[in-house]
Structures are given as structure tokens and as C-alpha cells.
């Protein structure tokens, strides 16, 4: 089991008004993500994932949300960035490359005024279908890693 301690930064994102859902997801994956990859690596990001909350995926939970008297969250997507040192990550937003290249790119398709963020550690409860008895702030394991543990 991995015990690499990492901090997880989750951002909840709405697309910019006037940007279609199709264009948002395409731009996010094909333009913004690849453009920011080297920048993130230089600033200590070990893992960065995009989660696309499409109409299709949201519809999967509509009945469950309605039964609980709630609505599905309206975000168009979320991101998770995992870092060892939050200060290093935070300082990245002062980097001239961010200010001159990444930030203007974000403004092209993200409603940055509605962006929300949370910072956390993962706390594993189940792994491989089994209850976790020892807890550590750990790097999130992927399915292939779980298969290797079996």
C-alpha cells in the first residue's frame, strides 16, 4: 500500500456564460489541460484529474437526489490536484507564466467568479471491497494498483 502523504485540492467549476457544454469539455481537455501540464509539474503537482459532470452523468443521480429532496450540484466539472506542499502550489499562482498564459486561458472558458475550492486529505474507508483498518493520508490508488494488491 502506498503511504505517500499528499494534500488534495478540489476545485468546483462552472463554464463561462456563452460557452456551450460541448465546447467547454473539448477546450478543457484538448487545450487547457495539455497547456498547463508542464506548469503544474514544475509547481509540485503529482496528480491532476478533471471530472466532467455532463448532463448524462448528472442524470444518473437525478432520481436518488429527488428521493432525498435535493438537486444534483450544478457544476460542469471538478478538478483534483495532489501536492506534497501546499505553499509551493499556492505560490504557483504568482508565477508570471500563470499570470500571462494560464490565467487568461482559464478566463476564456471558466466562470472564475463562481469557482469554489476545498483542501483535504483522503481518508480511506473501503479499499478493494474491504474495510480499511489503518488510516494514513495517502496518494489515491488507481484501479490497476488495487488489482496488483489482490
Closest listed residue to residue 149, CA positions, set 126, 119, 127, 132: 127
- Is the C-alpha dihedral spanning 60, 62, 63, 67 positive or negative? positive
Domain 7-123 annotated CATH 3.40.980.10: no
Report the alpha-carbon distance of residue 139 to residue 47 in Å, rounded: 9
Q: What confidence score (pLDDT) does residue 140 get?
A: 53
Residue 79: strand pairing partners: 11, 50
Distance, CA of 131 to CA of 148 (rounded, Å) = 18
Other beta carbons less than 10 A from residue 27's beta carbon:
19
* Element (DSSP H or E) covering residue 29: none
Q: Please list the pLDDT of the chain residue by residue as tens digits (150 residues).
A: 445 678 999 999 999 999 999 999 999 999 999 999 999 999 999 999 999 999 999 999 999 999 999 988 999 999 999 998 899 999 999 999 999 999 999 999 999 999 999 999 877 778 788 888 776 555 555 444 444 443
Domain residue ranges of the chain, discontinuous segments joined by +: 7-123
Amino acid at each position: 500500500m502506498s503511504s505517500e502523504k499528499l494534500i488534495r485540492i478540489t476545485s468546483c467549476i462552472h463554464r463561462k456564460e456563452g460557452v456551450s457544454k460541448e465546447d467547454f469539455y473539448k477546450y478543457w481537455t484538448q487545450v487547457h489541460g495539455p497547456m498547463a501540464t508542464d506548469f503544474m509539474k514544475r509547481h509540485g503537482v503529482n496528480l491532476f484529474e478533471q471530472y466532467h459532470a455532463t448532463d448524462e452523468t448528472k442524470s444518473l443521480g437525478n432520481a436518488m437526489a429527488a428521493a432525498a429532496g435535493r438537486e444534483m450540484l450544478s457544476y460542469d466539472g471538478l478538478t483534483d490536484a495532489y501536492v506534497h506542499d501546499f505553499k509551493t502550489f499556492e505560490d504557483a499562482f504568482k508565477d508570471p507564466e500563470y499570470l500571462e498564459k494560464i490565467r487568461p486561458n482559464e478566463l476564456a472558458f471558466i466562470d472564475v467568479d463562481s469557482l469554489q475550492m476545498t483542501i483535504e486529505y483522503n481518508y480511506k474507508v473501503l479499499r478493494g471491497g474491504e474495510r480499511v483498518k489503518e488510516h494514513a493520508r495517502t496518494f489515491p490508488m488507481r484501479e490497476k494498483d488495487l488489482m496488483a494488491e489482490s
